[in-house]
Structure 1
Amino acid sequence: MKAFVAALLVLVAACGEGRAIFNVDVLSFLSPSDSLKRFSVPGGIPQADSSAARRFFLPPGFGKSTADSVTASASASVIDTSGSGSVRFDVFFAKTQAALFLGTPYLTANSGALVPGDSVALLPPSSVSLADSVFQSDTVWVGIRARITTNIGPNMAGRIRITSLNLRIVLQDKIL
């Protein structure tokens, strides 16, 4: 353990301008049931949400650091097996669970019109947030929402699979 801490100190000291960079594969922390959601929504329903929320504990010291920038990227796919409508994929980050699905999502992508048999990739553009206070904490909540809108007619059924969710956090180093 002492060797690991010493190596970490050398690594942080070698960062140059005192920045620490963390690349996080958020998807690897989600359960399989969170990354693959099946849905069946009655036709004509204006909006139905399927969501997952998880709390993440960041390395000690994040709360003392300043986030220079946070880059988020994600991808998902939706398959429509019956009915028609659309699916919007949203990713949220917040300091508390109560604030998670409020406000504007960090990432969003819309499937467009879907009919049975359609398989669509959802590729929201990467989001870059400067000096975001959400990541100046030892914990962060991640929320993923699929907002399903159906057309009048048979139930819309299918599945949505999250295929990637990554964060790149650049901190002004005050971790140690």
Structure 2
Amino acid sequence: MKALTAALLVLLAACGKGRVIFNIDVLSFLSASDSLKGYNVIGGIPQTDSTVSRQFILPPGFGKSSVDSVSATAAASLENATGSGSVQFDVFFSKAQGSLFTGTPYLTASSGAVVGADTVPLLPPTTVSLADSVFNTDSLWVGIRARLSTNVGPNMTGHLRLNQIQLRIVLQDKVF
């Protein structure tokens, strides 16, 4: 056992500066009802929000490491059935649930004007590089918001489908 421990320590010392890379599929932590949200909003409503939030417990030691880089990728689609209006799709990250939806979203995309039966992709920039201390933690809150605005007329009904939300976090290795 001592020989194995010594060999591992020598191997770790020989590796020099290490990086740990985590690829997190955020959608895999959401229920089916969270990734496909139905809506039925009365026509003429200037703004209504539909949100979902989840806490992610990251591997022990994550908060002790320094974050080298973070990139996020997201995609959603609006499947409108009736009515008209617009939808803004936002993704938030926070260390605490209470402050999750209070700041500027990390990822955002707008449907533009939607009229009647239509399917519209909501694609923020393909990958966004994030630099924020919010990722230096052992637990992270992720919030997703659909902000709907409807025009006067029939109710705006349909579904917002989350297709992809992924995080790639690169750490300076101090996990162990």
Instruction: Give 4+ residue runs of structure 1 displaced > 4 Å after superposition.
Output: 9-16
TM-score, normalised with respect to structure 2: 0.90
Partner of 2:121: 121
Q: Distance in 2 between matches of 1:49 and 1:76?
A: 16
RMSD: 2.0
Deviation at 1:17, TM superposition (A): 2.9
Give matches, 1:107-118, under 5 Å.
107-118=107-118
Structure having the higher Rg: 2
**Kept in 2: contact 1:12–1:20 (CA 8 A):** no
Partner of 1:141: 141
* 1:44-71, Cα deviation, whole Å (9 max, x unpaired): 1010100000000000001101111110
Q: Counterpart in 1 of 2:5?
A: none
Counterparts of 2:64 and 2:170 in 1: how far apart (Å)? 13
Deviation per CA, 1:30-52: give whole Å up to 9, x if none: 11111000001111101010000
Is residue 168 of structure 2 the alignment partner of residue 161 of structure 1? no
- Closer, same or farther: CA 154–59 of 1 in aligned 2, 3 Å: same
Instruction: Encode CA deviations 1:70-94: one digit per residue, 9 max, x unaligned.
Output: 1011000101111100011000000
Q: Report the equivalent of 2:87.
A: 87
| TM-score, normalised via structure 1 length | 0.90
Amino acid at match of 1:141: W
What 5-or-longer segments of structure 1 have no aligned partner? 1-8
Contact 1:111–1:121 (8 Å) recurs in 2:
yes
Q: How does 1:6-17 map to 2 (within 5 A)?
A: 17=17
